[in-house]
Amino acid sequence: MNILIWPTQVFSILCKSHADRNVYPSAGVLFVHVLEREYFKGEFPPYPKAGDSSNDPITFNTNLKGYPDRPGWLRYIQRTSHSDGVLYGSPTAEHVGKPTIIEITAYNKRTFETARHNLVINIMSTEEFPLPYQAEFFIKNMNVEEMLASEVLGDFLGAVKNVWQPERLNAINITSALDRGGRVPLPINDLKEGVYVMVGADVQFSSCLREVETPQNQLRCSQEMEPVISCDKKFRAQFHIDWCKISLVDITKVVPVHSNRPDLGTGVLPDIGEYNPPSESLKSRDYFADFLITLAVPSAIALVLFIILGYSMCCRREGVIQLVHHSSIQKSTKEIRSMSKNREISWPLSTLPVFHPVSGEVVPPIHPDSYETTSMPLMQTQPNLQSQIQIPQQQSSGK
């Protein structure tokens, strides 16, 4: 376990992964645990096939022992299978005195080997933490794994120290913007997800941090414009802070809200006796009568309707008239169709006799008398005309 101590007593707990390691974070202080790939590589047995074992893809799975997920205050992130995993979070006073055993399982995706270790987190209680004055910053140009690096986090706390001038300063929590409902940025122009960083101090907020509460800056924030902050230049070199999203909280003035929770009880149902299944000697039921009723009732209704319809159509005057009228229409239709088959059809003009342009003789029609006139086209194509008509040759004057 490594404790970072800055000139203003900045506390942040960092530790590296070890098998069955006990760590002792404090409530109200940021806890970071790095799962190093290099350490777990030695836990895997040698792979018989040739390959670059130094670049094996390794992923981690973390969960509370006996449960499928981690505690609510503990988060985990690993961007790629070739980067280290990080456990981070901020335990509260509710978790003091309760050892938390985290099972860490490493998977080698090339050899399909696994290694498992336990991390025992013993949360300690201190009177110094949490500090009474807490400020939360939203940094737009950082991802959470970049901000968890000790060097970057130390630089940010150093910039906050220059602005705030506290005697004690520590990081309380770090949260990704995606966990607050933010959107995944597009992979262009090196856009970042953004990260919320909460820090605590033992002195009142500085005038620079209070500038965002002025009416002018509140108006600019409502118009989606950047507020004018005098100390922004101390962060701008490395951290782009959205000052409209800064949150300043004095926990000494926060009124605790106590909700009356109902008594959950013991969780054991009252004893209402044993379950008595139905007796095996049940009487058999005859469904034949139900079957007859199911068929007889619809059949009787259909028969009554058929009789009523037959009486209306055959026995009443209006029905007889409709039947006679329908019969006469059918007879007329058949008669018209028979007449249309026997009528003579006038020949189209293209099929009448024509005069030969050379001899002047009359050329007979291009069809025989027995040709089916109903299927004859109105216009004859030139190839058909040449194949069906042979033009007589002009005889010489000597013959």
pLDDT, tens only, 240-273: 999 999 999 888 876 665 556 666 666 667 777 7
Model pLDDT, residue 88: 94
User: Which of 122-126, 240-244, 352-356, 371-375 is the most confident on average?
Assistant: 240-244
Model pLDDT, residue 344: 58
pLDDT > 80? residue 74:
yes
- pLDDT (average), residues 22-41: 88
Residues whose CB is less than 8 angstroms from the CB of residue 28 and which lie 6 or more positions away in sequence, other chains included: 90, 91, 92, 93, 126, 129, 130, 131, 172, 200
Which class for 55: exposed (0-12), middle (13-18), buried (19 or more C-beta within 10 A)? exposed
Model pLDDT, residue 147: 92
Confidence of residue 137 (pLDDT cuts 50, 70, 90): very high
User: Which of 37-46, 102-111, 339-348 is the most confident on average?
Assistant: 102-111
pTM for this entry: 0.58
Among 91, 33, 77, 73, CA closest to 193: 77
135 neighbors 209 (Cβ within 8 angstroms): yes
CA separation for the pair 235, 233 (Å, rounded): 5
Residues whose CB is less than 8 angstroms from the CB of residue 172 and which lie 6 or more positions away in sequence, other chains included: 28, 29, 30, 90, 130, 131, 134, 198, 199, 200
Among 142, 90, 107, CA closest to 35: 107
What region, left, alpha or beta, does residue 9 occupy, with left being phi > 0 and alpha being psi -120 to 50 degrees? left
Using DSSP's 3-state secondary structure scheme, residue 197 falls into strand
- pLDDT (average), residues 327-332: 87
59 neighbors 84 (Cβ within 8 angstroms): no
pLDDT > 50? residue 360:
yes
Sign of the torsion formed by the C-alpha atoms of 381, 384, 386 and 390: negative
- pLDDT (average), residues 101-117: 89
Confidence of residue 189 (pLDDT cuts 50, 70, 90): confident
**Cα dist. 238→38, 147, 206, 210 in Å?**
30, 11, 21, 22
Structure tokens, 399: 């013959």
pLDDT, mean over the chain:
78
196 neighbors 138 (Cβ within 8 angstroms): yes
Among 175, 168, 196, CA closest to 11: 168
Give the model confidence (pLDDT) of 218-234 as tens digits: 999 999 898 999 888 88
pLDDT > 80? residue 15:
no
Least confident of 80-89, 127-136, 287-296, 373-382: 373-382
DSSP 104: E
CA separation for the pair 334, 356 (Å, rounded): 45
DSSP string, 137-155: EEETT--HHHHTSHHHHHH
- The pairing of beta strand 31-35 with beta strand 21-23: unpaired
Model pLDDT, residue 398: 47
Which class for 12: exposed (0-12), middle (13-18), buried (19 or more C-beta within 10 A)? buried
Q: Please give the distance of CA 170 from its chain centroid, rounded to a whole number.
A: 38
pLDDT > 90? residue 77:
yes
DSSP 186: P
Structure tokens, 352: 């009448």
Least confident of 46-55, 235-244, 324-333: 46-55
Model pLDDT, residue 352: 56
Pinpoint the alpha helices (H) of the chain.
37-41, 144-147, 150-164, 207-210, 215-222, 233-236, 288-314, 317-342, 382-388
Model pLDDT, residue 219: 92
pLDDT > 50? residue 382:
no
Model pLDDT, residue 5: 37
Residue with tokens 């002195």: 203
CA separation for the pair 111, 192 (Å, rounded): 33
- pLDDT (average), residues 72-100: 89
Model pLDDT, residue 78: 93
CA separation for the pair 337, 295 (Å, rounded): 47
- pLDDT (average), residues 57-80: 91
CA separation for the pair 8, 149 (Å, rounded): 19
